[in-house]
């Protein structure tokens, strides 16, 4: 995620975008699900379905050993960074699951930010943080990162 004027889900080099805008001065709980079976994907905003589709890398499998980068589009694994593609904003509570959550599960995570993913649970002590990032405590979901470019 690096744009606030519309969000993209990338799966093995293919993407689906949405016009969901998160640059309106309000906090947004954004959840994106994807399933290999049929390539079904869905965007949720604040616990409610926003838009969905199918056919995104149907039958493909995401294997371990890669890199997750928040707030910056990468042209290669862990590199190829362009400052113009950096997210300017705030991130908290990023979690990753090994399966697509149901709508009810997404709504529950929206209500309770202490629910963590089974692949990755938000904990800034486990992250390698580089660039112009400020860490601070927040009333929404604990510690957050403020991303900016100097």
Across all residues in the chain, what is the average pLDDT?
80
Q: Is the dihedral of CA 137, 2, 13, 33 positive or negative?
A: positive
What CATH number is attached to the domain comprising 124? 2.60.120.200
Over residues 44-61, the pLDDT tens digits come to: 999 999 999 999 999 999
- Quote the pLDDT of residue 145: 52
Q: Is the dihedral of CA 113, 143, 26, 72 positive or negative?
A: negative
The residues pairing with 96 across neighbouring beta strands, listed in sequence order, are 120
Over residues 84-130, the pLDDT tens digits come to: 777 777 777 889 999 999 999 999 999 888 899 998 888 767 667 77
Q: By CB neighbour count within 10 A (0-12 exposed, 13-18 middle, 19+ buried), where does 78 fall?
A: exposed
How far is it, in rounded angstroms, from Cα 39 to Cα 139? 36
- Quote the pLDDT of residue 1: 53
Residue 36 lies in a domain: yes
- Quote the pLDDT of residue 38: 95
Residue 1 lies in a domain: no
How far is it, in rounded angstroms, from Cα 94 to Cα 37? 24
The band of 148, judged by pLDDT with boundaries at 50, 70 and 90, is: very low
Residue 121 lies in a domain: yes
- Triad 17, 114, 68: Cα angle to 5°: 40
> 46-50, 71-75, 93-97, 134-138: lowest mean pLDDT where?
134-138
**Domain extent for 76:** 7-147
**Total domain count, the chain:** 1
What is the mean predicted confidence (pLDDT) over 55-83? 80
Residue 131 lies in a domain: yes
Q: DSSP class of residue 100? A: P
């Amino acid at each position: 995620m690096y744009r606030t004027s519309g969000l993209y889900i990338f799966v093995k080099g293919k993407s689906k975008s949405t016009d969901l805008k998160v640059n309106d001065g309000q906090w947004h709980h954004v959840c994106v699900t994807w399933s290999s079976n049929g390539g079904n994907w869905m965007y949720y905003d604040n616990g409610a379905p926003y838009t969905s589709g199918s056919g995104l890398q149907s039958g493909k499998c995401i294997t371990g050993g890669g890199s997750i980068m928040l707030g910056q589009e990468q042209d290669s694994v862990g590199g190829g960074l362009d400052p113009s593609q950096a997210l300017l904003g705030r991130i908290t509570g990023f979690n990753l699951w090994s399966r697509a959550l149901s709508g009810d599960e997404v709504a529950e995570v929206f209500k309770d930010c202490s629910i963590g993913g089974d692949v990755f649970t938000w904990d800034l002590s486990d992250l390698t943080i580089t660039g112009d990032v400020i860490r601070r405590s927040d009333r929404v979901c604990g510690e957050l990162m403020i991303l900016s470019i100097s």
